Amino acid sequence: MTTTSTDRPLGITGFGAWLPRRRMERKVIATAHKWFNPALMAGAGGTRSHCSWDEDSVTMAVAAARAALASGDPGKVAALSLASTTLPFLDRQNATIVAEASGLRPRIRTQDVGGSLRAGTGALIAAFQDGALEGGDASLVVAADARRARPGSPDELAFGHGAAAILLGRERPIATLLGWTSESDDFVDHYRSEGRDFDYRWEERWARDEGPAGRLPAAVAALLDRLSLTPDGIDRIALPAASAREAQRIAKSCGLDPARVADPLDQACGHLGAAHAPLLLAHCLEQARPGETILLAGLGQGFDLLVLQATEALADYRSAGAVGAALGAGRSDENYLRFLAFEGTLELETGIRAEADLKTAHSVAYRSHGALTGLQAGRCTACGTVQFPPERVCVNRNCGAVDSQEPYPLAGRTARVVSLTADRLAYYPDPPVRYGLVEFEEGGRLLVEFVEWEGAELKVGARAGVAFRIKDRDEQRGFRRYFWKAVPA
pLDDT tens figures, 394-413: 999 999 999 999 999 999 99
Which residues are CB-neighbours of 457 under 8 A, at least 6 positions away? none
Q: Which percentage of the chain shows pLDDT scores above 70?
A: 97
Strands (E), 155-252: 162-169, 175-184, 190-191, 200-201, 236-238
pLDDT attached to residue 8: 75
Positive/negative CA dihedral, 385, 388, 393, 397: negative
CB–CB of 282/319 below 8 Å? yes
Note whether 167 and 71 are within 8 A (CB). yes
Round to whole Å and give the CA distance between 322 and 405: 36
Greater confidence (210 vs 115) lies with 115
pLDDT at 2: 34
pLDDT, tens only, 474-484 = 999 999 999 99
Whole-number pLDDT of residue 59: 98
* Span 421-428, average pLDDT: 93
- The confidence band for 211, taking pLDDT boundaries of 50, 70 and 90, is confident
Say what the pLDDT of residue 12 is: 96
Torsion angles phi and psi, residue 347, rounded to 5: -95, 110
Least confident of 349-363, 367-381, 428-442: 349-363
State residue 471's pLDDT score.
97
Residues in the chain: 489
Helices (H), strands (E): how many in the chain? Answer: 13, 22
Confidence at residue 3, expressed as pLDDT on a 0 to 100 scale: 38
Q: How confident is the model at residue 318 (pLDDT cuts 50, 70, 90)?
A: confident
Taking 80 as the threshold, does the pLDDT of residue 6 lie above it? Answer: no
- Cα 370 from Cα 478, distance rounded (Å): 22
How many angstroms separate the CA atoms of 203 and 280, rounded? 26
pLDDT given at position 71: 77
Does the pLDDT value for residue 179 go beyond 50?
Answer: yes
Three-class HEC string of 294-306: EEEEEECCEEEEE
Average pLDDT value for residue range 308-324? 90
Q: Does the pLDDT value for residue 47 go beyond 90?
A: yes
Average of per-residue pLDDT across 439-463: 95
Mean pLDDT of the chain: 93
The pLDDT score that the predictor gives to residue 134 is 53
* pLDDT tens-digit map of 327-351: 999 999 999 999 999 999 999 998 8
Q: Which domains occur in the chain, in start order? A: 8-192+201-341 (3.40.47.10), 413-488 (2.40.50)
Answer whether residue 7 shows pLDDT above 70. Answer: no
Mean pLDDT of 40-49: 96
pLDDT above 70: residue 295: yes
Whole-angstrom distance, CA of residue 484 vs CA of residue 54? 11
The pLDDT of residue 322 is 87
* pLDDT for res 208: 78
- Residue 50: which of 269, 240, 199, 242 has the closest Cα? 269
List helix spans (H) across 329-416: 336-343, 362-367, 369-372
Mean pLDDT, residues 190-200 taken together = 92
Q: Which pLDDT band holds residue 4 (cuts at 50, 70, 90)?
A: very low
Instruction: Supply the pTM of this predicted model.
Output: 0.95
